[in-house]
Amino acid sequence: MKTKTIKRRPAAAKRGLAPLWQLRLYVVDQTIQIAGSVREFKAVCETHLKGRYRITVIDLLKHPQLAKGDQILAIPTVVRKLPSPVRTIIGNLSDTARLLVGLDLRPAA
């Protein structure tokens, strides 16, 4: 897969304190504020999941066939592959509170 892995901390997973989080961020190049979204998303992950997450950014323009697998319609979409169950958050992640709820990092208010 020609996607770039942003952060990888295998040491954290090995410790077994918490499961490794696998997150996928689907984007399309020309859509708005992609760079900003990715940056924001990384910041949130750093805050809440330091050392035990892995983000894969997938550009659908380059890999359109991947959209089918995760049932992507909306852009951008974050898919939490692990831990199960799979969670999907759509939107440009500007609403951090909802993002955290969506990722089960904070109970729904």
Q: Does 89 bind other proteins (CB under 8 A)?
A: yes
Asked if 20 contacts 53 with a C-beta cutoff of 8 angstroms, the reply is: yes
Q: By CB under 8 A, what part of segment 22-41 binds other proteins? A: 26, 28, 31-32
Q: Does 87 bind other proteins (CB under 8 A)?
A: yes
Q: Does 12 bind other proteins (CB under 8 A)?
A: no
Token pair recorded at residue 43: 């910041």
Count other C-beta atoms under 10 Å from residue 45's C-beta.
22
Stretch that binds other proteins, among 9-17, 48-56, 92-100 (CB under 8 A): 92-100
CA distances from 8 to 2, 57, 81 (A): 16, 13, 15
C-alpha to C-alpha distance for 99 and 89, rounded to whole angstroms:
7
**In the bound complex, what is the minimum distance in angstroms from residue 91's beta carbon to other proteins?**
4
Judged on CB neighbours under 10 Å (0-12, 13-18, 19+), 33 is middle
Nearer to other proteins, 3 or 92 (CB): 92
Please report, as ranges, the residues that interact with other proteins according to CB under 8 A. Answer: 26, 28, 31-32, 60-61, 64-65, 67-68, 71-77, 85-96, 98-99, 101-102
